[in-house]
Amino acid sequence: MDAPEGLRERKKAAARLALHEAAVRLALEHGLDHVTTEAIADAADLSRRTFSNYFASKEDAILDGDVVRLQDWLAALRDRPPSEPPWRALRASLNSLTDRWLDPDLARVTAMRALRQHPSLLARQSAIYGAFERDAAGVLLARSGAHAPDDRRAARVQAAAFLSGLRVAMNLWVEEPDVHHLMPTLDQVLDQLGRGFE
């Protein structure tokens, strides 16, 4: 038998995922401006009160997948060996998750990218990724055991550069017709950026 707490946590995770998936589906089908939190709750077959228990806005519901993936990435980064250089640790932790993360459907990725250009989503994304950059830098710093201002600065620069590399690789994959596979492109971009950190 499942412990009550374990069952409760799984139910909460399932409800959160259902709301996220409904929000994304409706936004892709109808455009973000035509989606309400009530419609998202109804599409997920959950109460409107349940929606407000998990998310403050439809933007939060749509971007919840990003939040979950970034939390997983931070956990994987924390688990890397402390002796591993920071850039290598960032790459290894990301590589451990790419099978679960990457959507091979270019058409869906392109549609999601267009959706993410909505002003209200851009503002929320900026906050989410800014927080992740700071958290990732904190993990890099904790792994190194260093605390000098220069060390803090170096950790922030590496975290920011790595995220920029991810963004560039995704843009190349979506925008350039001769780029058919994301992972080789991502590896090339991170190789180029990494020369300054390894």
Rounded average pLDDT per 10-residue block, the chain, 198 residues: 75 94 94 96 96 96 92 95 92 87 70 86 92 94 82 91 90 73 85 84
> Which pLDDT score is estimated for 106?
67
Summarised one tens digit per residue, pLDDT across range 4-16 is 678 888 999 999 9
Place of tokens 């259902």: 18
> Which pLDDT score is estimated for 104?
64
| Three-class HEC string of 25-54 | HHHHHHCHHHCCHHHHHHHCCCCHHHHHHH
> Which pLDDT score is estimated for 21?
94
> Which pLDDT score is estimated for 179?
65
Task: Identify the three-state secondary structure at position 104.
Answer: coil
| Count of Cβ atoms closer than 10 Å to residue 192 Cβ | 11
Q: Is the dihedral of CA 129, 133, 134, 138 positive or negative?
A: positive
